[in-house]
Amino acid sequence: MTHAISVTDLTKMFGDFTAVDHISFNVEQGEVFGFLGPNGAGKTTTTRMLTGISTPTTGTATIMDHEIHSFAAKERMGVVTDLSNVYNDLSAWDNLIFTGKLYGLSRQKREQKAEELLEMFGLLEVRKDNVREFSGGMKRRLTIAMALINDADVLFLDEPTTALDVQSVRRIRELIRELNAEGTTIFLTTHNMAEANELCSRIAIINQGRIGTIGSPEELKQAMNKMHSIEVAFDRQLDSLKEKMEELRTVSSVQKQGDKFWIFTHSPPEALAEIFTLAQHHDLKLLTVNTLGPSLEDVFLEITGEQIVQRGKSQMGGMKQNRGGK
């Protein structure tokens, strides 16, 4: 069967820096394929290569069996980049009509598609308003609509919900599900595990330009469930306290972080009960107790045994950005 996307050994170098490092995978028709990774992992670079915006250093890829730079491939795909490509000085209607013209659609076809998409994306009433007055969520919806004017079979979405308010995020996720239900294959990049879990049929985890693993949301969920952690601090030090905690039945591992301990467990309530008992037994007082959701870093380590390293601009303070998220 024709793969929606087929990627073989795709690599992108910037000078001597390897942004994407010999990745290979297939996306089947009808899938929502998640491309999950931290900032700087190579998600946008991959998306740009797959959509013909940037040329691979080595490797090949096809969209519906057509080589990525071919006109036939371009005809089958829609792209929503991480940079909005709407014209602020035009109305939503004019943006769609203009995009339709770029794709060479007939006047009748582009007007019919524009109306249909504005309706589906909840923008029909504001179609004559200047896009400048749109909220971030409305603009993002319009960008996705524009990517669909050509009846794309494969839609690329690069972090479509980043920096939007909760309601807009929910709306966009609903739209992704609707589009997929209507038969559109979706390639979705995200740094948000919950989003990947909620929307995707399969998820590739990318780290430093390499795919660490491709699995189902269930596998990711299982790893996430194992990786809850509790942060505790005691009123005094005690010899081999770390080892004592590691021996507890519900504790998988313990890391010392300054004067605090991070305790990894599949069941925070049971682990906490055990830690309370241990503390009482040694006459220790608990000064801090925090439960933390798993971070992408924790889960990646659990699945692949490899450490995630953040690269690029947002390196500072990035390590814990997902901690505490659902």
Ligand X SMILES: Nc1ncnc2c1ncn2[C@@H]1O[C@H](COP(=O)(O)OP(=O)(O)O)[C@@H](O)[C@H]1O
Q: Name which position in 6, 34, 44, 80 contacts Mg ion (CB under 5 A).
A: 44
Q: Alpha carbon of 187 to those of 94, 130, 214, 278, 324: distances in Å?
A: 27, 30, 14, 48, 26
CA neighbor of 253 nearest in space, from 291, 261, 85:
261
312 binds, among Mg ion, ligand X, none (CB under 5 to 8 A by kind): ligand X
296 binds, among ligand X, Mg ion, none (CB under 5 to 8 A by kind): none
- Least distance (Å) from ligand X to the CB of residue 143? 17
Sheet holding 66-67, edge to edge: 17-27, 5-14, 58-63, 66-67
- Least distance (Å) from ligand X to the CB of residue 43? 3
String of contacts with Mg ion for each residue 14-43, x by CB under 5 A: -----------------------------x
C-alpha R_g of the chain: 23
> Is 91 a residue that touches Mg ion (CB under 5 A)?
no
- Least distance (Å) from ligand X to the CB of residue 270? 36
Specify the stretch interacting with ligand X by CB under 6 A; choose among 43-51, 64-72, 222-230, 256-264. 43-51
- Least distance (Å) from ligand X to the CB of residue 298? 19
Query: Quick one: 43 or 113, whose CB is closer to ligand X?
Result: 43
Q: 252: which 2 tokens?
A: 């998988």
> Is 40 a residue that touches ligand X (CB under 6 A)?
yes
Q: Name which position in 4, 32, 33, 37 contacts ligand X (CB under 6 A).
A: 37
Measured in whole angstroms, the distance separating CA 5 from the mean position of its chain's CA atoms is: 18
Alpha-carbon torsion 271, 273, 279, 282, what sign?
negative
Q: Are strands 66-67 and 58-63 parallel, antiparallel or unpaired?
A: antiparallel
- First-to-last CA distance in the chain? 37
- Residue 205, helix vs strand vs coil: strand
Q: Name which position in 122, 215, 293, 312 contacts ligand X (CB under 6 A).
A: 312
* Distance, CA of 29 to CA of 222 (rounded, Å): 26
> Is 19 a residue that touches ligand X (CB under 6 A)?
yes
Query: Quick one: 186 or 205, whose CB is closer to ligand X?
Result: 205
> Is 311 a residue that touches ligand X (CB under 6 A)?
yes
* Distance, CA of 129 to CA of 135 (rounded, Å): 12
Q: Name which position in 41, 138, 223, 254 contacts ligand X (CB under 6 A).
A: 41
Q: Name which position in 43, 74, 171, 202 contacts ligand X (CB under 6 A).
A: 43
> Is 207 a residue that touches ligand X (CB under 6 A)?
no
Q: Which of residues 284-303 bind ligand X (CB under 6 A)?
A: none
> Is 45 a residue that touches ligand X (CB under 6 A)?
yes
Q: How many CA atoms lie within 13 A of 228 on its CB side?
A: 17
Q: Are strands 77-80 and 154-158 parallel, antiparallel or unpaired?
A: parallel
Q: Alpha carbon of 282 to those of 28, 245, 255, 270, 289: distances in Å?
A: 57, 12, 20, 19, 17
- Least distance (Å) from ligand X to the CB of residue 39? 4
Total residues binding ligand X (CB under 6 A): 12
* Footprint of Mg ion (CB under 5 A): 43-44
* Footprint of ligand X (CB under 6 A): 14, 19, 37, 39-45, 311-312
